[in-house]
Every structure is written in C-alpha cells, then in structure tokens.
Amino acid sequence: MRPDTPADHVDHIAEAERLERTAGLYPEDAEHLLLQAAAHLELADARDRATTLYDSLLSPSASHPPENPTLVRALKAANLWEYGHEAEARAIIDGVRGTAPADAAPWVIVAEALEAHDELDQAHETFTQALTRLLGAMPEATQTPDATPEAEAPADPPYPTHPLLFGRHRVRRLLGAEHDAWDGLADRVHRSRAAASGRAPVPLDELHDPKRVWALGSENPEDLRAEIARLQSELGSYREALSRPFPVAVLHWPSTELTELLAAYPDLTSEYPSHEAHLATIESSLRELSTSGTPNLGIVTGTVPSYEAFAASEGASPDDPLLLPQYATTLAARGRAEGWPPERGDGCWCGSDTRYAECHGADLP
C-alpha cells in the first residue's frame, strides 16, 4: 500500500494529484487510490495535505465510506504525529486500540508509531494487545536446546500477524525483557521465512540488538559506516552463494511433506499418485537425464511452507503443477541441491537408512 520510492526519483506531489484525479473518475476505488495519494504526499513532506485526504475518506458525507475506517484512522494518527500534532495522534491511537480491530494492519501502524517516538512501553502494550486479540492468549512455552522459549502451537500464525510478532520482539529487546513464548514464535517464523527464501537466517536477537537498532538511527557517521560495512559483507556472501553453478534438479517430497501437500492441494494428486511412484519417477528421470548427457544433476527437497512462500512470491496458486519445476530450479539456484547419484557407499537420496546401492540404485551396474 505504501510507496517506498525516494522523493528524488519520483515527483510524489504530481503522482498524488494524478491518483486523486483517478479517484474522482472511479469512486468505487477511491479508498485505495486516495490512500496511495496520501502516502505520496507524506513522502513529499506535504503531511497537512495527506491529513486532508484521510479526513475526506472519513467524512460522513463521503460518497463511498472506507471499507476499513480503522486503518485510515491509524494512518492519519501516524501522519499527524510526524508533523507535531502529538496530542491528536495519541487520542486517535487510543481510539484505534479501543475498537480492537480484527485485522493486523491498524495495530501494526499505531504500535510502530508509538515505537518510532520512543514510547516503548506503550508500543509493547499495543503489540501484546494486538497479538492477544488476533492469536488468542499466549500459548504455553517449552524450552528449546538453546534456552529460547518456543510456542507449543506447531502451526505458523497468519502472515499478516508476522510484523506484530517481530515488532513486539524488537521492542522487548530494546526494553531488555526476557524472552517469552511469543518471542520464541517470532524467532521460529523468522527462521522459517529465511529458509523459504534460501537465505541463512540472521537471528532476530542480532537483528534487534539495541546497539544495532540505535546505530541505524544514529547521526554518528562512524556508527553508520560500521553498519553499512556489515551489511555489505552479508550481501557479498549472499551474492557469492547465488553465483555458484547449480545442478539440473528434480524435486523430492518426503512422505510427510507429500501427505501434507496433497491434503492442502488435492489438484496435485495427478502429479503424485503415491509416494512410492514419486520416488520411482525421481530416479527414472535422473537416469534419463544422465543417459542423455545432461551434467551436474541433483535433487532438491521441498517443504510445504517453503513451497507456499514461493507460490506467494510468484503471485501463483500452489495447486498449479507448472509451479513445481520452477520451485525446484529456485531451490537449486539457492544452493539447496544434493548431487546425484550419491557417492559410493553413501545413503540413498530418498532418506531411507539404506545405502543408495541397495535402495534406488540397486539395479545400477
């Protein structure tokens, strides 16, 4: 929803005025268009004009009342505080919290507005109130081997709630609070998202280290240079990983993952009639590729969360069979492939406890 193009690359005022004109022509889309226009005005530091747009959407005389007035109020509050109207902003934020909206976006906006103005206790209270409203009471926690509390619930929370989990974790680090179950859940979600994108996850504790957070907001050039150097080092490692040659890869689903995949997306049953047939197809496909002279063959192992994240990034439906080879290629490009065939004496690629020569490679010379 919020454009992020810097003002020196876009004439945000002109873009806002274009969007306002378009909203006049298409009143049924006015809410989306005017929120975009207000965001451009904020980026151009024309915050009073942005407030006027928010007010026009909230006006009782608006021809098309907004579908999500609480979101509009939250955006208005965050904008007001940025140009000196703190008291009014606080009053609106209290009102947003009082309505206890059922969607995450208003909560994220008002909590981050409080955090941005160093109201850390209020921000923490807002993040916690939001998660309690959207996820229910904090689950019981168990201790992981690294002594980080993890939420017992195995299912990932809804994607829109992720910024609430991450924001609460960040604020609690700034406050010096001990980890609780939701902090553990935030870390697990963060690691899962990093794995889905093929990146080595930077722990949330490191990302939200108060020294690092303060360095990013520091006006001291030395602090900023140190943080930029660290980010450049991370980027160099990531580029190096992407530059490695990757194999022609075939996608492998472990039994439990395939069961979960087909339960969620039964249209894929035609691709995978059974797990045994799936494993046989992998081996036969790789042998055919090898016989044809294709070099650098490999196998990538899929997981349902990773596949769903990939589908979302591509704007595609996970039940589209055409997405499967793209997913395999992407995993291979991220260095996730295991070479085929396994080395002599190694275990079989299928995950059994049997050597390859005695399992799927039994009939090879």
* Protein fold of 248-358: Putative cytoplasmic protein (1.10.3100)
Query: Mean pLDDT throughout 111-118?
Result: 92
Q: Is the pLDDT of residue 304 over 60?
A: yes
Q: How confident is the model at residue 56 (pLDDT cuts 50, 70, 90)?
A: very high
Most trustworthy range by pLDDT among 187-201, 228-242, 327-341? 327-341
Q: How confident is the model at residue 193 (pLDDT cuts 50, 70, 90)?
A: confident
Helical H segments across 83-209, by residue range: 86-99, 104-116, 120-135, 162-175, 181-196, 204-207
Q: Is the pLDDT of residue 303 over 70?
A: yes
Q: How confident is the model at residue 129 (pLDDT cuts 50, 70, 90)?
A: very high
Rounded to 5 degrees, φ, ψ at 62 are -60, 135
Burial of 53 (0-12, 13-18, 19+ CB in 10 A): buried
Query: Mean pLDDT throughout 9-13?
Result: 81
- Per-residue pLDDT of 82-105, as tens digits, reads 999 999 999 999 999 999 999 999
**Extents of the domains making up the chain:** 248-358
Please tell me the predicted confidence (pLDDT) of residue 306: 84
Contact 219, 179 (CB under 8 A): no
Please tell me the predicted confidence (pLDDT) of residue 240: 57
Please tell me the predicted confidence (pLDDT) of residue 202: 73
Q: Of 30-34, 54-58, 302-306, 330-334, where does mean pLDDT reach its minimum?
A: 330-334
Query: Mean pLDDT throughout 161-184?
Result: 92
Write out the DSSP string of 245-272: ---EEEEE--HHHHHHHHHH-GGGGGT-
Q: Is the pLDDT of residue 150 over 80?
A: no
Selected residue with higher pLDDT from 167 and 155: 167
- Per-residue pLDDT of 241-298, as tens digits, reads 555 566 788 999 999 999 999 999 999 999 999 999 999 999 999 999 989 888 889 9
**Distance between CA atoms of residues 24 and 131, nearest Å:** 37
Work out whether strand 297-301 and strand 248-252 pair parallel, antiparallel, or are unpaired.
parallel
Work out whether strand 338-339 and strand 141-143 pair parallel, antiparallel, or are unpaired.
unpaired
Q: Where are the beta strands (DSSP E) in the chain?
A: 141-143, 149-151, 248-252, 297-301, 338-339
Closest by CA to 282, choosing from 364, 195, 361, 363, is: 361
- Per-residue pLDDT of 218-242, as tens digits, reads 666 776 677 677 667 666 655 555 5
